[in-house]
């Protein structure tokens, strides 16, 4: 499976080369093959006899961090959505994005994101999952900010990255706690030890950290504010990230860890509460929007809240409804985003106030929008898949398990009413989207372009998705036993397969649907009458304002702190760095009992060593008090040559020769450089400055001496020198152990050190040449 995960990232390396011929063949046609191949590879696992598959590839086994990929029903559902809708999005982008765009960058970012999402849903190792999780944030940041010349694009990209990465770091802390509790980094291993986790005192903290990561990624209230601003991305990005993939990563995380936390009552309270509030708030706010993609953004927020609430319910019906709606939402919402892009592409605007009567100009697009919006609204028609999962959602709200907590019992009573409330506004924004665009008065004079039907290539992807809406609606059990049931069983192991039926008689869920449709029609027809309600709620309140104030405050105070020490003084920088190192290291040594002084097994000290050390000490002090720069360099050279003599005395000729060569070259270079610098001036620092300098120098020198003595006196680990002595000849083919270490055992380190020195030399040479050219000009 690792090849299937990494192939988009590997192919992305060749996209910049392929994009050079974009004026002959659109780059998207080449990229299209990658997600399509991944889809074909994984579709073969769909079937009633499917059982989980595990692949392991070593990465850092000493830390328990390996590429452990686990394919079960839940991950298979997401993989097929990522690759299947990814294929359609790439095809759609071929006709949506002109060849004058930076196609190479766009498809590199898209493929990077595809790899990240595949890694998230297939990883069984929590730390590998975290790596891919943060890669989704980075790649989505690049995709949302693709039109970086637009200020709103940059703002939306930064907001999405800050919020989701903040949640990702929180999730990482939760993973660390679970690893400490269970002693394993495997998610399946943690599920097997769920009883240990539920009995742990760290349980509330671990749950809170992980849910914070899930809520920020899946735009749950109040972290939803990044999603509407992310609509500044190109429409193919919106159709991919915000309907089927990135925003559902948080849902996947909650679903994956549900077997662990579902037995904890606060899991139900927190997840259900945030989910149902997000459903109501997102649907309510969607109705007030005037931009088509903004309407779809808030509708996505509301739909994500509904799925999150069902995962929080945790019952068999709710879990099945959740995974069913994940599939349904991807089909109708992906098609609607593409429809919004078509309208923008063919009319020049997404402002619903300027649109109207487009059904006569764009009949195919209107038909796609009708089926997509009505499915999203949950209209009770047998050929719309959205109705089935909405009906199951209502049923799940009526069969919640009461608990020992009073908050739980209150939620059990109020959730059905909130579900109906949120669904009413879902119906309103759905019909508002369709009828506001395709019916009513034509406003051709307000449109930047004369409307006309989109080309077949642009219509093909939404047609496929709408066909999915109809097919699942007419034959829901086609994907049930062979597909959805496996996903539901991965989340709730007690799930039992049942047929999906359209007609169950006049049940309470059907009555709830009829109430939604009835009140929704009334609210839509009278929308202008109650539109003033938005001036009261939210009124001037806005979580965006809170975000902006927090960001501005952080920026202001960080500038003050930074300007306090970034004053251009190298002395200040070194004092801060060395002082901080001294304090942190010394405190750590004292707290961990790391200070050890042992006089055993020491060599005898003769007058020769004492004499050399005294010479080195006197020379070091001489550099401080010397007023002549050349003399100071020569005196400093005595320190280096004295160290070389110590190496000779302690029978380390290789080190002595190396020290002599380096010291000679260094002294020569210093002499050449300092010859062209001004003479040293008499030092006029204040007593305070001199005291600080002396404290930093003495303190840091004493710390290094203490570390050296403690390292020599401690024996916490087996010495590695025995390994070098034993294997130098067999591995490196030499008896000179030091040379073998440098050339063979840490040859890559040496190679990179040489590379760094070479780059530095080239940089210095370039600066010198640049300076000469400026002087010549």
CA distance 570 to 680: 17
Tell me: pLDDT of 114 over 90: yes
In degrees and rounded to multiples of 5, residue 466 shows phi and psi of -70, -35
Q: What is the pLDDT of residues 587-606, one digit of tens each?
A: 988 888 888 887 777 777 88
Nearest to 211, CA basis, from 162, 267, 159, 262: 267
Which has more pLDDT, 773 or 442? Answer: 442
pLDDT band at 369 (very low <50, low <70, confident <90, very high): very high
Q: What is the pLDDT of residues 190-247, one digit of tens each?
A: 999 999 999 999 999 999 999 999 999 999 999 999 999 999 999 999 999 887 788 9
Q: What is the pLDDT of residues 665-702, one digit of tens each?
A: 888 888 888 777 777 666 677 888 888 888 888 888 88
In degrees and rounded to multiples of 5, residue 213 shows phi and psi of -65, -40
Nearest to 367, CA basis, from 261, 467, 217: 467
Range name among 13-17, 133-137, 378-382, 770-774 with the lowest pLDDT average: 770-774
Query: How many CA atoms, within 13 angstroms, populate the side-chain half-sphere of residue 587?
Result: 6
Percent of the chain with pLDDT over 90: 55
Tell me: pLDDT of 3 over 90: no
Q: Please give the DSSP secondary-structure letter assigned to residue 569.
A: -
Q: What is the pLDDT of residues 334-366, one digit of tens each?
A: 999 999 999 999 998 999 999 989 999 999 999
Q: In whole numbers, what is the pLDDT of the chain averaged over residues?
A: 89
Tell me: pLDDT of 266 over 90: yes
Q: What is the pLDDT of residue 708?
A: 86
**Residues 425, 283: contact at Cβ < 8 Å?**
yes
**Residues 180, 220: contact at Cβ < 8 Å?**
no
Domains and CATH numbers, the chain: 1-261 (no CATH), 264-531 (no CATH), 570-715 (1.20.120), 717-777 (no CATH)
Distance in Å from the first CA to the final CA of the chain? 59
Task: Give mean pLDDT, residues 246-275.
Answer: 94
Task: Give mean pLDDT, residues 563-584.
Answer: 87
Query: How many CA atoms, within 13 angstroms, populate the side-chain half-sphere of residue 150?
Result: 15
Which has more pLDDT, 539 or 646? Answer: 646
Tell me: pLDDT of 24 over 70: yes
Burial of 229 (0-12, 13-18, 19+ CB in 10 A): buried
CA 269 to chain centre: 26
Task: Give mean pLDDT, residues 696-716.
Answer: 85
Task: Give mean pLDDT, residues 438-445.
Answer: 87
Q: What is the pLDDT of residues 176-191, one digit of tens each?
A: 999 999 999 999 999 9
Retrieve residue 627's tokens: 């007023």
Tell me: pLDDT of 774 over 70: no
Tell me: pLDDT of 456 over 70: yes
Percent of the chain with pLDDT over 70: 99
Task: Give mean pLDDT, residues 711-728.
Answer: 80
Nearest to 106, CA basis, from 202, 26, 226, 7: 26
């Amino acid at each position: 499976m690792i090849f299937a995960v990494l192939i988009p990232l590997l192919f992305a390396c060749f996209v910049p080369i392929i994009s050079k011929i974009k004026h002959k063949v659109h780059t998207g046609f080449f990229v299209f093959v990658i997600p399509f191949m991944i889809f074909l590879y994984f579709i073969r696992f769909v079937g009633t006899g499917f059982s989980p598959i595990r692949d392991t590839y070593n990465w850092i086994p000493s830390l328990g961090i390996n590429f452990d990929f686990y394919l079960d029903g839940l991950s298979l559902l997401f993989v097929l959505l990522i690759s299947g809708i990814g294929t359609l999005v790439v095809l759609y982008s071929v006709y949506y994005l002109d060849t004058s765009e930076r196609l190479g960058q766009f498809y590199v970012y898209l493929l990077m994101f595809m790899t990240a999402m595949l890694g998230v849903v297939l990883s069984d190792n929590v730390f590998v999952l975290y790596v891919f999780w943060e890669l989704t944030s980075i790649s989505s940041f690049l995709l949302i900010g693709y039109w970086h010349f637009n200020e709103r694009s940059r703002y939306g990209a930064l907001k999405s990255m800050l919020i989701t990465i903040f949640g990702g770091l929180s999730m990482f802390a939760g993973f660390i706690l679970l690893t400490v509790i269970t002693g394993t980094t495997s998610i399946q291993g943690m599920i097997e030890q769920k009883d240990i986790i539920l009995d742990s005192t760290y349980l509330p903290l671990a749950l809170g950290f992980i849910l914070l990561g899930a809520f920020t990624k899946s735009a749950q209230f109040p972290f939803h504010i990044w999603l509407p601003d992310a609509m500044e991305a190109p429409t193919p990005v919106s159709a991919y990230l915000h309907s089927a993939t990135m925003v559902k990563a948080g849902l996947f995380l909650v679903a994956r860890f549900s077997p662990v936390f579902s037995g904890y009552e606060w899991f139900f309270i927190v997840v259900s509460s945030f989910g149902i509030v997000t459903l109501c708030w997102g649907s309510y706010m969607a109705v007030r929007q005037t931009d088509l993609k903004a309407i779809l953004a808030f509708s996505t927020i509301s739909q994500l809240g509904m799925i999150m609430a069902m995962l929080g319910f945790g019952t068999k019906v709710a879990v099945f409804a959740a995974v069913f709606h994940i599939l349904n939402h991807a089909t109708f919402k992906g098609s609607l985003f593409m429809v919004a892009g078509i309208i923008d592409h063919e009319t020049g605007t997404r402002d619903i106030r300027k649109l109207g009567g487009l059904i006569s100009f764009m009949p195919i697009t209107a038909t796609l929008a009708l089926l997509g919006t009505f499915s999203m609204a949950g209209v009770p028609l047998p050929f719309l898949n959205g109705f089935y999962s909405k009906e199951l959602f209502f049923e799940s709200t009526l069969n919640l398990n009461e608990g020992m907590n009073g908050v739980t019992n209150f939620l059990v009573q109020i959730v059905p009413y909130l579900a109906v409330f949120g669904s009413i506004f879902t119906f309103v924004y759905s019909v508002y989207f369709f009828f506001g665009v395709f019916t009513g008065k034509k406003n051709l004079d307000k449109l930047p372009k004369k409307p006309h039907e989109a080309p077949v290539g642009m219509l093909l992807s939404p047609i496929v998705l709408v066909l999915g809406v109809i097919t699942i609606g007419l034959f829901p059990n086609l994907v049930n036993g062979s597909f959805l049931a496996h996903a539901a069983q991965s989340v709730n192991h007690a799930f039992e397969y049942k047929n999906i039926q359209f007609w169950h008689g006049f049940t309470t869920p059907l009555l709830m649907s009829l109430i939604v449709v009835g009140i929704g029609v009334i609210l839509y027809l009278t929308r202008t009458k109650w539109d003033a309600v938005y001036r009261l709620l939210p009124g001037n309140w806005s979580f965006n304002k809170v975000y902006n104030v927090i960001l501005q405050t952080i920026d202001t105070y960080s500038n003050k702190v930074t300007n306090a020490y970034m004053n251009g003084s190298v002395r200040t920088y070194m004092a801060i760095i060395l002082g901080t190192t001294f304090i942190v290291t010394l405190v750590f040594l004292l707290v961990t009992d790391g200070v050890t002084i042992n006089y055993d097994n020491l060599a005898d000290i003769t007058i020769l060593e004492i004499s050399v050390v005294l010479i080195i000490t006197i020379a070091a002090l001489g550099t401080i008090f010397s007023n002549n720069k050349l003399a100071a360099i020569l005196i400093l050279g005595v320190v280096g040559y004295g160290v070389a003599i110590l190496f000779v005395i302690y029978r380390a000729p290789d080190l002595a020769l190396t020290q002599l060569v380096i010291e000679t070259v260094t002294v020569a270079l210093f002499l050449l450089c300092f010859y062209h610098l001004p003479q040293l001036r008499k030092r006029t620092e204040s007593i305070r400055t001199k005291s600080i300098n002396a404290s930093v120098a003495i303190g840091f020198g004493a710390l290094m001496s203490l570390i050296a003595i403690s390292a020599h006196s401690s024996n916490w680990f087996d010495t590695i020198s025995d390994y070098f002595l034993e294997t130098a000849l067999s591995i490196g083919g030499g008896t000179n152990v030091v040379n073998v270490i440098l050339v063979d055992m840490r040859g890559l380190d040496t190679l990179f050190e040489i590379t760094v020195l070479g780059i530095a030399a080239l940089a210095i040479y370039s600066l010198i040449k640049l300076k000469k050219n400026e002087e010549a000009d």
